[in-house]
Amino acid sequence: MYTIDVDFEVYKQLTVRRSTEDVTYNDVICELLGMAQPAPISSAAKANGQSSADWVAKGVRFPVGTDFRANYKGQVHTARVESGALVLSSGKRFDSPSAAAVSITGSAVNGWRFWECRLPGKPSWQLIENLRR
Protein backbone atom coordinates (compact mmCIF):
# COMPACT_ATOMS: atom_id res chain seq x y z
CA MET A 1 0.00 0.00 0.00
CA TYR A 2 1.21 3.46 -0.91
CA THR A 3 0.35 6.75 0.76
CA ILE A 4 -0.04 10.15 -0.82
CA ASP A 5 -0.26 13.57 0.79
CA VAL A 6 -3.20 15.79 -0.11
CA ASP A 7 -4.28 19.12 1.29
CA PHE A 8 -7.41 19.42 3.43
CA GLU A 9 -9.58 20.79 0.60
CA VAL A 10 -8.76 17.78 -1.58
CA TYR A 11 -9.48 15.47 1.35
CA LYS A 12 -12.89 17.14 1.87
CA GLN A 13 -13.78 16.78 -1.80
CA LEU A 14 -12.80 13.10 -1.77
CA THR A 15 -14.84 12.58 1.39
CA VAL A 16 -18.06 14.09 0.01
CA ARG A 17 -17.80 11.81 -3.01
CA ARG A 18 -17.99 8.71 -0.81
CA SER A 19 -21.64 7.64 -0.95
CA THR A 20 -21.13 5.25 1.99
CA GLU A 21 -18.27 4.28 4.25
CA ASP A 22 -17.93 1.13 2.15
CA VAL A 23 -16.65 3.33 -0.68
CA THR A 24 -12.92 3.83 -0.16
CA TYR A 25 -10.89 6.88 -1.07
CA ASN A 26 -9.17 4.67 -3.63
CA ASP A 27 -12.60 3.92 -5.17
CA VAL A 28 -13.29 7.66 -5.40
CA ILE A 29 -9.95 8.38 -7.04
CA CYS A 30 -10.42 5.50 -9.50
CA GLU A 31 -13.84 6.88 -10.42
CA LEU A 32 -12.45 10.38 -10.90
CA LEU A 33 -9.71 9.00 -13.14
CA GLY A 34 -12.22 7.03 -15.17
CA MET A 35 -10.87 3.71 -13.97
CA ALA A 36 -14.10 2.48 -12.32
CA GLN A 37 -15.59 -0.62 -13.86
CA PRO A 38 -19.23 -1.65 -13.51
CA ALA A 39 -19.73 -4.57 -11.16
CA PRO A 40 -20.32 -7.89 -12.90
CA ILE A 41 -23.96 -8.94 -12.89
CA SER A 42 -24.78 -11.97 -10.78
CA SER A 43 -26.67 -15.00 -12.03
CA ALA A 44 -29.50 -14.12 -9.58
CA ALA A 45 -29.79 -10.64 -11.13
CA LYS A 46 -29.89 -12.17 -14.62
CA ALA A 47 -32.68 -14.51 -13.47
CA ASN A 48 -34.64 -11.44 -12.29
CA GLY A 49 -34.40 -9.86 -15.74
CA GLN A 50 -31.67 -7.37 -14.91
CA SER A 51 -29.20 -6.37 -17.58
CA SER A 52 -25.50 -5.80 -16.95
CA ALA A 53 -26.17 -2.31 -18.30
CA ASP A 54 -28.62 -1.60 -15.43
CA TRP A 55 -27.35 0.55 -12.57
CA VAL A 56 -27.94 -0.39 -8.94
CA ALA A 57 -27.44 2.25 -6.25
CA LYS A 58 -28.17 1.48 -2.58
CA GLY A 59 -30.41 -1.40 -3.57
CA VAL A 60 -32.42 0.57 -6.15
CA ARG A 61 -32.20 -0.77 -9.70
CA PHE A 62 -32.35 1.77 -12.51
CA PRO A 63 -32.78 0.04 -15.88
CA VAL A 64 -30.55 1.00 -18.76
CA GLY A 65 -32.07 4.01 -20.52
CA THR A 66 -33.44 5.62 -17.35
CA ASP A 67 -33.24 9.40 -17.78
CA PHE A 68 -32.17 11.72 -14.96
CA ARG A 69 -32.55 15.47 -14.59
CA ALA A 70 -31.83 18.11 -11.97
CA ASN A 71 -32.36 21.83 -11.90
CA TYR A 72 -29.44 23.65 -10.28
CA LYS A 73 -29.11 27.44 -10.28
CA GLY A 74 -31.58 27.75 -13.14
CA GLN A 75 -29.84 25.22 -15.37
CA VAL A 76 -31.18 21.75 -16.13
CA HIS A 77 -28.56 19.01 -15.92
CA THR A 78 -29.22 15.63 -17.50
CA ALA A 79 -27.86 12.13 -17.21
CA ARG A 80 -28.76 8.62 -18.32
CA VAL A 81 -28.15 5.07 -17.14
CA GLU A 82 -25.68 3.38 -19.48
CA SER A 83 -23.35 0.42 -19.03
CA GLY A 84 -23.97 0.01 -15.31
CA ALA A 85 -23.44 3.66 -14.31
CA LEU A 86 -25.05 7.08 -14.23
CA VAL A 87 -23.57 9.00 -17.16
CA LEU A 88 -23.86 12.79 -17.27
CA SER A 89 -24.43 14.53 -20.60
CA SER A 90 -20.74 15.52 -20.39
CA GLY A 91 -19.84 11.81 -20.54
CA LYS A 92 -18.62 11.55 -16.93
CA ARG A 93 -19.61 8.26 -15.26
CA PHE A 94 -20.68 7.92 -11.64
CA ASP A 95 -21.52 5.06 -9.32
CA SER A 96 -23.66 7.13 -6.95
CA PRO A 97 -26.27 9.85 -7.41
CA SER A 98 -24.54 11.99 -4.77
CA ALA A 99 -21.16 11.84 -6.52
CA ALA A 100 -22.83 12.95 -9.76
CA ALA A 101 -24.60 15.79 -7.92
CA VAL A 102 -21.36 16.92 -6.25
CA SER A 103 -19.69 17.10 -9.67
CA ILE A 104 -22.35 19.64 -10.67
CA THR A 105 -22.65 21.68 -7.46
CA GLY A 106 -19.05 21.49 -6.25
CA SER A 107 -20.25 20.90 -2.70
CA ALA A 108 -21.81 18.18 -0.56
CA VAL A 109 -25.35 17.34 -1.64
CA ASN A 110 -27.74 14.44 -1.18
CA GLY A 111 -28.05 13.04 -4.69
CA TRP A 112 -31.22 11.16 -3.77
CA ARG A 113 -32.94 14.53 -3.26
CA PHE A 114 -31.10 16.26 -6.12
CA TRP A 115 -32.10 14.01 -9.03
CA GLU A 116 -35.41 13.11 -10.63
CA CYS A 117 -35.68 10.14 -12.96
CA ARG A 118 -37.95 8.89 -15.69
CA LEU A 119 -37.90 5.13 -16.04
CA PRO A 120 -37.93 3.70 -19.59
CA GLY A 121 -41.44 3.60 -21.01
CA LYS A 122 -42.87 5.83 -18.26
CA PRO A 123 -44.18 9.34 -18.97
CA SER A 124 -43.63 10.93 -15.55
CA TRP A 125 -40.61 12.08 -13.57
CA GLN A 126 -40.11 11.24 -9.90
CA LEU A 127 -37.63 12.16 -7.20
CA ILE A 128 -35.26 9.21 -6.91
CA GLU A 129 -35.46 9.39 -3.11
CA ASN A 130 -39.04 8.08 -3.46
CA LEU A 131 -37.71 4.84 -4.98
CA ARG A 132 -35.71 3.90 -1.88
CA ARG A 133 -37.29 1.49 0.57
CA 128 to chain centre: 11
Return the number of other C-beta atoms located less than 10 Å from residue 99's C-beta. Answer: 23
Assigned domain for 67 exists:
yes
Beta bridge partners of 8: none
Query: Residue 51 is which amino acid?
Result: S
Q: Containing domain of residue 87, as a range?
A: 8-131
Q: Average pLDDT of the chain?
A: 84
pLDDT classification of 51: cutoffs 50, 70, 90: low
Query: DSSP code of 108?
Result: -
Assigned domain for 120 exists:
yes
Return the number of other C-beta atoms located less than 10 Å from residue 54's C-beta. Answer: 19
Q: Is the pTM of this model over 0.75?
A: no
The pLDDT value recorded for residue 7 is 92
Assigned domain for 3 exists:
no
Dihedral of the alpha carbons of 65, 117, 106, 33, in degrees to the nearest 10? -20
Q: Which residue has the higher pLDDT, 79 or 27?
A: 79
Q: Give SS3 for 57.
A: strand
Q: Is the pLDDT of residue 124 over 90?
A: yes
Q: Which residue has the higher pLDDT, 22 or 40?
A: 22
Percentage of the chain modeled with pLDDT above 70: 82
Q: Is the pLDDT of residue 94 over 80?
A: yes
Q: Is the pLDDT of residue 71 over 90?
A: yes
Query: DSSP code of 80?
Result: E
Assigned domain for 117 exists:
yes
| Mean pLDDT in residue range 23-45 | 63
pLDDT classification of 39: cutoffs 50, 70, 90: very low
The count of domains in the chain is 1
